[in-house]
Amino acid sequence: MIATTVNPFLEGNFAQIGDEITADALILIGQLPPDLCGMFVRNGPNPQFPPIGQYHWFDGDGMLHGVQFSNGQAQYRNRYVRTEGFKIEREAGHAIWSGLVEPSQTDNPNGSYKNTANTALVWHAGQFLALWEGGAPHAIKLPSLETAGLYTYNDKLVSAFTAHPKVDSVTGEMMFFGYSPFEPPYLHYGIVSASGELLRTVPIDLPIGVMMHDFAITEHYTIFMDLPLTFNPARLQRGEPLVMFEPERPSRFGIVPRHGDNSNIRWFESPACYVFHTLNAYEEGDEVVLIACRMGSTTVLVSEPTPGETDGDKARLYRWRLNLRTGSVREEALDSRPSDFPRVNEQQLGRATRYGYTARMAPDPMPLFDGLIKYDLSNGSSQTHEFGAGRYGGEAVFVPRPDTTVEDDGWLVTFVYDMNEETSELVVVNAQDITAEPVARVLIPQRVPYGFHGAWVSQEQIAKQVGTNKP
Ligand SMILES: [Fe+2]
């Protein structure tokens, strides 16, 4: 491990903030669309105490930043997810767990790792869940952002739970997986019914434990990505990082019928790569088409907290065509510009979409995003929304206009930080006119650190939230 005095993930707008506040009647520039009613919430790391050893961006305690819109007004609040680990450390008054690039704390009586709940959010079956891929979800109350507690589906959850479950808006089902870094089965695949019951979990065979951050669904299939970012405890003995990219291993894409299991999964191989995030997948004739942000390699989680600066670390939008009849794989780049945090109109998740949205990576060694790209996947064209000089955003969530059937009729919503003014705002961009100025900018009365994934929950959904005191 290399000792560093300055960790870039604890500086600038990556630095944590201390206060949890609630602020009403926020200052608006522009006009909030009157039918934008609901709450945008974004998750991200915000270490409660100075970290032990090296800090990685993935380590910080989950903090939620929410902006609720109603009657043309906006209200902001931010709250930590009060996980067990957060409460134990708060009681102690200092950090107890070290992070992912430090040796595992096998002697920690409260567990080797802290479930930080810091990565993403999902609304499903009346529950709003904060997610972390190494453990169980946490239920969150809306609009208060209070933590109700761990959510284990009446103890039916037998695996970890990905930060990127997939909700099929047609059937209402939610597909998820959990991976196990060290012990077979290295992968579990589960389905939660439209009413919120965990119906089934099946093991899927993998040759070795891999970091599997995301997956994809189509109308009939689920697609797993067995990519060569591997866990190997033996490396620690050799003084190497626990998690490493192995370029000599292939990428494997496993296609399983949605309600199938390991006996009917089919694997497709392609050259080594890494994918944090999928945009979407769909079926077309004999093919399953997967669109995702592909990196040629990755140095994430290898000892140094400074992010990789090789071009291979930059994600670019790619399309894979996996032919179920011939077994062939065709892989093609859709853009040469690096971008990540892909999103679609999730009402059409698993079906062919015409549009996809990503956050454009700035030419910077840090993961900074200087604009949004809207792809027209039908013809390969794209348009870009620029945040402006010295302004950086993150993942944009697509918010559909209520009662529309037009795929791109809605808004893209993301937090933007202005490094010149040292202020944060929420920008609302018309998805049908993304090169234009935002239709509304909501000024946030405190800095919102860069983070990971967000979700939109409509006012109608919030009203239907199921009592969150249940396990
Ligand atoms: Fe993610």
Splitting the chain (471 residues) into consecutive groups of 10 residues, what average pLDDT does each group show? Answer: 68 96 96 95 97 92 97 94 98 94 84 95 98 98 97 97 98 98 96 98 97 98 97 82 90 98 98 97 98 91 55 89 98 97 98 98 94 97 98 98 96 98 98 98 98 97 78 37
pLDDT on residue 3? 47
pLDDT on residue 304? 53
Distance, CA 452 to ligand 1 centroid (Å)? Answer: 7
**Residue 101 near residue 54, CB atoms below 8 Å:** yes
Interatomic CA distance for residues 102 and 305, integer angstroms: 11
Rounded alpha-carbon distances, angstroms, from residue 427 to 76, 251, 302, 437: 13, 37, 34, 9
pLDDT on residue 236? 76
Closest by CA to 455, choosing from 38, 5, 23, 35, is 38
Distance, CA 61 to ligand 1 centroid (Å)? Answer: 15
pLDDT on residue 2? 45
pLDDT on residue 107? 86
Distance, CA 278 to ligand 1 centroid (Å)? Answer: 9
Distance, CA 342 to ligand 1 centroid (Å)? Answer: 10
Within 8 A by CB and 6+ apart from 41, the residues are 64, 65, 66, 121, 128, 140, 142, 145, 454, 455, 457
Q: Which two tokens stand for residue 227?
A: 């990519």
Distance, CA 54 to ligand 1 centroid (Å)? Answer: 21
pLDDT on residue 235? 83
pLDDT on residue 1? 42
Q: Which two tokens stand for residue 61?
A: 């305690």
Distance, CA 395 to ligand 1 centroid (Å)? Answer: 10
Distance, CA 14 to ligand 1 centroid (Å)? Answer: 17
Backbone angles phi, psi at 86, to 5 degrees: -60, -45
Distance, CA 325 to ligand 1 centroid (Å)? Answer: 31
Distance, CA 93 to ligand 1 centroid (Å)? Answer: 30
Distance, CA 148 to ligand 1 centroid (Å)? Answer: 23
Distance, CA 122 to ligand 1 centroid (Å)? Answer: 12
Q: Which two tokens stand for residue 123?
A: 């609304």
Interatomic CA distance for residues 412 and 399, integer angstroms: 6
Distance, CA 392 to ligand 1 centroid (Å)? Answer: 18
Q: Which amino acid is at 118?
A: N
Distance, CA 163 to ligand 1 centroid (Å)? Answer: 6
Distance, CA 275 to ligand 1 centroid (Å)? Answer: 10
Distance, CA 396 to ligand 1 centroid (Å)? Answer: 13
pLDDT on residue 240? 80
